[in-house]
A = this chain, B = another copy of it.
Amino acid sequence: MKTWIGIGASFAVAAMLGALHYAEANAVLQFVVGIIALALLAWTVGVGTETVGSRFGSATTGVLQSTLGNLPELFIVVFALRAGEIVVAQTSILGSLLANALLILGLAIIAGAFRAENGVMRFHRRLPNDTTMLLMLVVFMIAIISTSISLGDKASDNAGTISVIGAVLILCVYGAWIANYLRAGAQQEPAIDQEHAPPMSFRAGVVVLTLAGVAAAFTSEWFVAVIDPATEDLGISKAFTGLVIVAIAGNAVENVVGIQLAWKRRFDLAISVVKNSVAQIAAFLYPALVLISLLFAQRLTFGVPAGGLVLVVALVFAALAIWQITGDGEAAVYEGFALVATYAVLATVVWFE
């Protein structure tokens, strides 16, 4: 019952945004309603995926979940690219990465370590280390192309071509990894409680998923259209909007799950939800969007403009931080605090940009 209320609310808020959009209402109002609509639709997509996925076993569900869970994110970036909002497109991808890797992981660790018996949350080391590897690969792409651009050398004129080649290579590595992950996962016991029955029938799940996808597409378009006037009225920079507001809205609800699982002492599953999300945005969503952007006038590359080297530094440290903190399969409360503090410092810097 609660599930259906939530689903209804997500469609209602999305419809409200549509009404405000065509009524040409106040930009800031539309902006706020848009954030709420996106967060609720992300949750609805999550419920739909879980239902549909319950037919396939846990590892497949996990991958389905993170893939479809990134649907709203995908739409925002596609519409931002179509609207020529290249800064919002790129910063919202990088922001999702950083928000997941620092803020959400930090909160999950704080919750988990607080509830763990001797204050130390323990989990398997393989997935965190694989995520670090995939993240490092993408951060390398970003760092090398951005350095080239900031030097203004010849390679920077070909940032688009290099990004396409890099995107294909990264997708191959991701493919090899996910194939191995699914194969290994098929032999494991189900990650998700079997007792926890799906909240609706398979058929209803497919319908909800389809409708939520369509609604997410429209909502993203309306939201992107209002970013420019709203951020101007609010006096917030576009980088802050992409890196913090859109990033948190697009991932918030799905990530609450990670923190809840940590609180319930299901440490491995919590880490798996958060880390899979990071791995997927870095090594699937970003390269896929680089290839998709070939259809648009505005091309998305792995290169950050010279003024954005701060972001490259932040990404390098985020990759090192999650490696250092989760690589040993143990995390204490203060390590969670350190991740959250890193994110807060970054948000502060971007606020002033």
Within 8 Å by CB of A151, from B136, B147, B310, B334, lies B310
The answer to whether residues A352 and B158 also contact, given A144-B345, A334-B176 and a CB cut-off of 8 A, is yes
Chain B residues in 8 Å Cβ range of A341:
137, 166, 169-170, 172-173
- Shortest beta-carbon distance from A306 to chain B in Å: 7
The answer to whether residues A353 and B153 also contact, given A129-B328, A313-B143 and a CB cut-off of 8 A, is yes
CB atoms of A344 and B136 under 8 A apart:
no
Q: Is A20 an interface residue (CB 8 A)?
A: no
CB atoms of A151 and B352 under 8 A apart:
no
Chain B residues in 8 Å Cβ range of A134:
338
The answer to whether residues A169 and B137 also contact, given A148-B310, A162-B352 and a CB cut-off of 8 A, is no
Segment at the interface with B among A197-205, A219-227, A316-324: A316-324
Main secondary structure of the interface of A (DSSP, over half): helix
Within 8 Å by CB of A349, from B155, B323, B350, lies B155
Most chain-B Cβ atoms within 10 A of its Cβ — which of A130, A180, A313, A325? A313
Chain B residues in 8 Å Cβ range of A158:
352
CB atoms of A155 and B352 under 8 A apart:
yes
CB atoms of B155 and A345 under 8 A apart:
no
Chain B residues in 8 Å Cβ range of A338:
133-134, 137, 173
Q: Is A314 an interface residue (CB 8 A)?
A: yes
A164: nearest residue on chain B (CB-CB)?
A: B348
- Shortest beta-carbon distance from A153 to chain B in Å: 6
Most chain-B Cβ atoms within 10 A of its Cβ — which of A134, A158, A335, A341? A341
Chain B residues in 8 Å Cβ range of A165:
344-345, 348
Within 8 Å by CB of A324, from B125, B136, B155, B176, lies B136
Q: In the bound complex, how far is the Cα of B335 from the Cα of A173, in angstroms? A: 8
Q: Is A84 an interface residue (CB 8 A)?
A: no
CB atoms of A143 and B352 under 8 A apart:
no
- Shortest beta-carbon distance from A107 to chain B in Å: 14
Q: Is A140 an interface residue (CB 8 A)?
A: yes
Within 8 Å by CB of A155, from B125, B176, B333, B353, lies B353
Chain B residues in 8 Å Cβ range of A176:
333-334, 337
- Shortest beta-carbon distance from A91 to chain B in Å: 14
Interface positions, chain A 289-328, Cβ under 8 Å from B, are 306-307, 309-310, 313-314, 317, 320-321, 323-325, 328
Q: Is A196 an interface residue (CB 8 A)?
A: no
Q: In the bound complex, how far is the Cα of B344 from the Cα of A328, in angstroms? A: 30
Q: In the bound complex, how far is the Cα of B334 from the Cα of A133, in angstroms? A: 10
Q: In the bound complex, how far is the Cα of B143 from the Cα of A320, in angstroms? A: 13
CB atoms of A317 and B348 under 8 A apart:
no
Besides A141-B345, A144-B310, A144-B317, 18 other A-B contacts (C-beta < 8 A): A133-B335, A136-B317, A137-B338, A137-B341, A139-B317, A140-B345, A147-B310, A155-B310, A161-B348, A162-B349, A169-B344, A170-B341, A172-B337, A173-B334, A176-B333, A176-B337, A320-B320, A323-B324
What residues make up the interface of A, taking CB atoms closer than 8 Å to B? Answer: 119, 125, 129-130, 132-134, 136-137, 139-141, 143-145, 147-148, 151, 153-155, 157-158, 161-162, 165-166, 169-170, 172-173, 176-177, 180, 306-307, 309-310, 313-314, 317, 320-321, 323-325, 328, 332-335, 337-338, 341-342, 344-346, 348-350, 352-353
Query: What are 6 A-B residue pairs whose CB atoms fall within 8 Å in the complex?
Result: A129-B324, A133-B324, A144-B317, A155-B349, A158-B352, A169-B341
